[in-house]
Amino acid sequence: MSTLTVTNIKATGETASRAVSGVAAAWVNFDLLSATAAILSSSNTSSLTDNGTGDASFGLSNAMSDADYAGVCGPFDSNSNSSIVSVSIYSSQNTSSSVRVLINTSSAGAFDAPFNSVSLMGDLA
């Protein structure tokens, strides 16, 4: 068996390459609960905008080929909130260079959670 070692991956037709450590087109781990919303760690994410309680937008460093990419979201509530917390992509607000997410609880609606993650899959422009 052979071993292939690479530093970056670039699909045919893409102008931007992806670091091997972040094979998703983009991902972000962020905190909306602190006094200042913050990106904790990310790949291909350039900015965070706090749009209000449980509502955030992210700019992408390298644009996607279009706004029809797939996303996976996940929350973590370290405050032991007893209701179900969900993070979802607000698809009607997406563009090829930004994504908007909404965080909600089953009992209280919009919610600022301290630890959230979003991963995007699709082709880069």
Question: For residue 69, which of 14, 121, 4, 116 has the smallest C-alpha distance?
Answer: 121
Which pairs with CB-CB distance under 8 Å and at least 24 residues apart come from 77-83? 77/111, 77/113, 77/114, 77/115, 78/114, 78/115, 79/33, 79/114, 81/105, 81/111, 82/107, 83/107, 83/108
58-95 residue pLDDT tens: 999 999 989 988 888 887 655 555 566 788 888 788 89
pTM for the model: 0.78
Q: Side-chain half-sphere of 104: how many Cα atoms within 13 Å?
A: 8
Query: ∠ at Cα 25 (93, 120), nearest 5°?
Result: 40
Share of the chain above pLDDT 90, in %: 34
Q: Residues 25-31: what's their mean pLDDT?
A: 93
Residue 79's identity, in one-letter code, is: N
Return mean pLDDT, the chain: 83
pLDDT exceeds cutoff 90 at 28: yes
Helices assigned H by DSSP within the chain:
none
Q: How confident is the model at residue 22 (pLDDT cuts 50, 70, 90)?
A: low
